[in-house]
Amino acid sequence: MRKLNIAYKIIKFLISKSEYKFIKPADIIISTNDADKSYLYNNKFYSTILDSFVGYFKNDNYNLLAISVPGSKLYKKQTSFNYLNINRDYYLKKIKNYFSKKDELFFFWQNIFQIVKPKIILCIQPSHEMCAAAKKSNILIVDIQHGLINDLIYYNFKNPYGKKGLPNIVLCWDNISKNYLEKILPDITTFVIGNPWISKLGEKNSNKFISIENKKLKPYISNKPAIVVTLQWKKNFTKQVIDIPIHIIDCLNKLINKGWDCWLRFHPAHFEEFDRETLHDKWNKKTNLKINPYNTFDLSDVALPFLLRHANVHITNFSASIIEAKIMKVTSYIWCQDKNIKKKLLHEYLNSSYVKEASLKSDKLFKTLNRYRNKKKSSLNFSNLSKKKYEFFKNQYLKL
- 3-state SS of 227-277? EEEECCCCCCCCCCCCCCCHHHHHHHHHHHHCCCEEEEECCHHHHHHCCHH
* CATH number attached to the domain at 216-374: 3.40.50.12580
Instruction: Give the helix/strand (H/E) hosting 365.
Output: helix 362-370
- pTM of the model as a whole: 0.90
Quick: pLDDT tens for 28-43: 999 999 989 988 888 8
pLDDT at 58: 93
| CB contact set of 304 (below 8 Å; sequence gap of 6+) | 197, 228, 230, 265, 321, 324
Quick: pLDDT tens for 183-231: 999 999 999 999 999 888 877 665 678 888 889 999 999 999 999 999 9
Question: Where residue 122 falls among pLDDT bands split at 50, 70, 90?
Answer: very high
Domains 11-200+385-397 and 216-374 share a fold: yes
Architecture of the CATH domain 11-200+385-397:
3-Layer(aba) Sandwich (3.40)
Mean pLDDT calculated for residue range 56-62: 93
Mean pLDDT calculated for residue range 243-260: 97
- Apex CA 177: angle with CA 172 and CA 179, to 5°? 110
How many whole angstroms separate alpha carbon 116 and alpha carbon 26? 5
> Who wins on pLDDT, 384 or 118?
118
How many whole angstroms separate alpha carbon 160 and alpha carbon 240? 31
Q: What is the DSSP letter of 156?
A: S
235: pLDDT strictly greater than 80: no
pLDDT at 81: 95
> Who wins on pLDDT, 294 or 378?
294
pLDDT at 343: 83
Domain ranges (residues) in the chain: 11-200+385-397, 216-374
Mean pLDDT calculated for residue range 2-8: 54
Quick: pLDDT tens for 356-377: 999 999 999 999 999 999 987 6
